[in-house]
A and B are shown apart, each in its own frame.
Chain A
Amino acid sequence: MAVVSSPKPRVHGERVRSARERRVRTRSRRRTERIVVNTILLLIAVLFLVPLAWLVMASLNGTADLRVRVPHPMTLDNFHRVLNADMTYRPILNGLILCGGATALCVVCAVLAAYPLSRYESRYKRPFLLTILFTTGLPITAVMVPVYAMFVQVNLIDTMYGTILFLGSSALPFAIWLTKNFMDGVPLVLEEAAWTDGASSMQTLRRVVLPLMWPGITVVTIFTFLSMWGNFFVPFFLLLSPDQLPASVSILNFFSSRGTVEYGQLAAFSLLYSAPVVVLYAVMSKVLGGSSALGGALKG
């Protein structure tokens, strides 16, 4: 240290000064960088926001067209017009029956299946899990034509329960995978105590494991329900009679059955149909502790 500093004190002083300058420069560079980054991000956010803004504005606008405008006149008329049995209540109810039934079927089966997969070793386990994971990747759209043909042959076409069975089954692989991952996080110690007390494995599952993993179950349930609520092509292919269609398909009527499109009503209906999704998603990310956790969970 002394060797370095004593022969060239001047250099040392310069170095200190330049270091301070550099720090100041770095700090101001950081500040400009942050401003630039914030501006770019906000610009992108505006691009993402424009279509969403149209949805809200048009739903409140008495004379809505395709542009984003301040509602004039500002009115709830669009909502009054669509809030009737044919346009909103029945499709929403159909959606609830369809997606609720399929979600219940899917989650119950997934929990049952996940339990042995999480708790026991077997030589069938790994191939089974790999098959499940493989199935989650398959494009379900491609299966719809043979499913349609199959449903016509066995008379399940245009039936609510047939569609529920298919929707529930197609969501199963991912639900099993997700549930198993959540269940792996529940420690075994408590179950062992229950086993020692002579509880059967189903009792243990119900009394010990499920209460401990309710956040996981909530996430699986909401995620499954949301993916079905937004699903268009399954009910579109498998249900035919207009009074059975859920909201995801009945929304097409805003275009086809009337000559001119009532954009305000379309927007109002879209908002009503999307509201549960946004609420449930918010609940789910709260349970998961931040939306980034879902990305991690989905990554597998």
Chain B
Amino acid sequence: MTATYGPGAGTVPRPGGAPSRPGRTRRTLLRGLPVVPSVILMLLFLAGPIAYCVYYAFTDMRLTGASGTHFVGFGNFTKAFGDSNFRNAVELTLIFTVLSSIVGQNVLGLFLAALMRSASKSVRSTVSTVVVVSWVLPEVVAAYLLYAFFRREGELNAILHVLHLPQQNWLFTLPIVAVSLANVWRGTAFSMLVYSAALQEIPAEITEAAEVDGAGRWKRLWHVTLPMIRRSIGTNLMLNTLQTLSVFGLIFVMTRGGPGNRSETLPLYMYEQAFQDSLIGYGTAVALMLLAVGALFSVLYLRLLRTEV
């Protein structure tokens, strides 16, 4: 027993020696008691709504009209897949996720973290401060800043004008690109922090050895660095994707899903169906699909962590 002391290691010595079986059960219950408030809250406000979500998704519940709620089976789902607006939302969500999380935040974050290792100290701290500040700003504030940046009379077009590059009304012509770039601006810091930590853990001898063996910069990156941080890449991609799937405020403030539905990702589509058209049942079915995709990624994330621990 004395050998297992230490955080999380084995059992704690219990006063009173080995008790009988009912005594042990009672003690387990007593020890578990502090978990109870959390469990109750999470059951009521997280598990409850998810269970509701599963139930409502198969009904035609509405907020208005007292016609009552009926069970409609898979009606909501067949309706969704037949609806071009829904397919549009799925496509846009995919574009938004790939463009902003998988390509944008992930690659830019790794790029920044890698470059910072060979930058001078003052530059490094300046860059990380600026990037981190754009990360910690509240979502709505970030949304307004980027709204101002991408507007026709905003700063982006002014910069493009100075550089003699074509300008356009970004929020109108390429709304999904604008909100994706906005999400890159807002979310890159997280990837940068994760990758900075991961790169620091690579022993210097390994990269030096590769350099002595004549491996160029790209070869070193591809054959040495990336394989060594592949777990961080996995975790980072999962967390970014999960976060990006549930982005609502940023897009809502910048474009409200418009013009038309050209930046209406799944969360915004869900909102529109459930609240503006008060089709709670249908909106919940959409939410359930979003939840299912999130759950899938979450399970993948758990598996990644398990190989790491």
Question: Does A45 lie within 8 Å of B193, measured CB to CB?
Answer: no
Q: A44-B127, A122-B32, A191-B12 are in contact. List 17 more A-B contacts (CB 8 A).
A: A40-B115, A42-B127, A51-B134, A51-B148, A51-B155, A52-B130, A67-B154, A110-B38, A116-B35, A141-B246, A145-B287, A146-B56, A149-B52, A187-B7, A274-B137, A274-B138, A300-B235
Q: Give the contacting residue for A143; candidates B13, B63, B287; CB below 8 A.
A: B287
B interface, over-half SS: helix
Q: How far is the CB of A82 from chain B (nearest CB, A)?
A: 14
Q: Which residue of B lies closest to A191 (CB)?
A: B12
Q: How far is the CA of A169 from the CA of B15 in the complex (A)?
A: 35
Q: Cβ of B39: which chain A residues have Cβ within 8 Å of it?
A: 113
Write the chain B residue with the least CB distance to A176.
Answer: B38
Is B48 positioned at the interface, with any CB of A under 8 Å from its CB? yes
Is B141 on the interface with A (CB-CB < 8 A)?
Answer: yes
Q: Contact check: which of A65, A140, A176 meets B153 at CB < 8 Å?
A: A65
Chain A residues, Cβ within 8 Å of B19 = none
B133→A52 contact, CB < 8 A: yes
Query: Which of A48, A133, A136 has the largest count of B CB atoms less than 10 A from its CB?
Result: A48
Bound-complex Cα distance A146 to B267 (A):
13
Give 26 A-B contacts (CB < 8 Å), ordered by A residue: A38-B120, A44-B108, A44-B112, A44-B127, A52-B130, A52-B134, A67-B158, A112-B38, A113-B34, A122-B31, A133-B301, A135-B46, A137-B302, A138-B291, A150-B52, A169-B42, A169-B46, A170-B46, A195-B13, A232-B138, A233-B249, A248-B139, A252-B253, A277-B136, A281-B132, A299-B194
Q: List the one stretch of A10-18, A70-78, A290-298 in contact with chain B.
A: A290-298
Chain A interface category by residue count: 35 or more
A243 CB–B CB distance under 8 Å? no
Give the chain A neighbours of B132 by CB distance below 8 A.
Answer: 281, 291
A133 CB contacts on chain B under 8 angstroms? 301-302, 305
Query: Interface SS of chain A: helix, strand, loop or mixed?
Result: helix
**B295 lies within 8 A of chain A by Cβ:** yes
Cα distance A274–B115 in the bound complex, in angstroms? 29
- Name the CB-closest residue of A to B245: A139
Contact among B7, B154, B197, B249 for A186, CB-based, below 8 A? B7
Interface residues on B, range: 35 or more
Most buried by A among B10, B12, B124, B190: B12
Q: Is B299 an interface residue (CB 8 A)?
A: yes
Interface residues of A in 3-31 (CB under 8 A from B): none
The listed residue (A120, A169, A248) touching B138 by CB distance below 8 A is A248
A40, A184, A281, A300: the one contacting B7 at CB < 8 Å is A184
Q: Which residues on B sit within 8 Å (CB–CB) of A185?
A: 7
Q: Which of chain B's residues have a CB closer than 8 A to the CB of A166?
A: 45
* Residue of chain A at shortest CB distance from B250: A232
What distance in Å separates the Cβ of A137 from its nearest Cβ neighbour in chain B? Answer: 3
Nearest-CB distance from B36 to chain A (Å)?
8
CB <8 Å contact, A143 and B46 = yes
Judge if A79 is at the interface, Cβ distance under 8 Å: no
Q: Flag if B34 contacts A115 (CB, 8 Å).
A: yes
Does A33 sit at the interface, judged by CB under 8 A? yes
Residues of B84-137 whose CB lies within 8 A of A: 108, 112, 115-116, 118-120, 123-124, 126-128, 130-134, 136-137
B302 to chain A, nearest CB (A): 6
By a CB distance below 8 angstroms, the chain B residues around A117 are: 35
Task: Knowing A51-B148, A150-B52, A277-B136, say if A139 contacts B246 (CB, 8 Å).
Answer: yes
B179 in the interface (beta carbon within 8 A): no
Which residues from A are CB-within-8-Å of B13?
Answer: 192, 195
- Of the candidates B128, B144, B298, the one whose C-beta lies within 8 Å of that of A251 is B144
Q: A45-B130, A52-B145, A300-B305 are in contact. Are A113 and B136 (CB under 8 A)?
A: no
Q: Is A147 an interface residue (CB 8 A)?
A: yes
Question: How far is A154 from B301 in the complex, measured between Cα atoms in Å?
Answer: 35
Residues of A within 8 A of B37 (CB): 108-109, 112-113
Say whether B176 faces chain A, with CB atoms less than 8 Å apart: no
Q: A118-146 CB contact bits vs B (8 Å, 1 = yes)?
A: 11111010001010011111111111111
Contact B155–A277 (Cβ < 8 Å): no
Query: Contact between A226 and B32 (Cβ–Cβ < 8 Å)?
Result: no
A63 / chain B contacts, CB cutoff of 8 Å: none
B263 at the interface (CB under 8 A from A): no
Q: In the assembly, what is the distance between CA of A55 and CA of B154, in Å?
A: 13
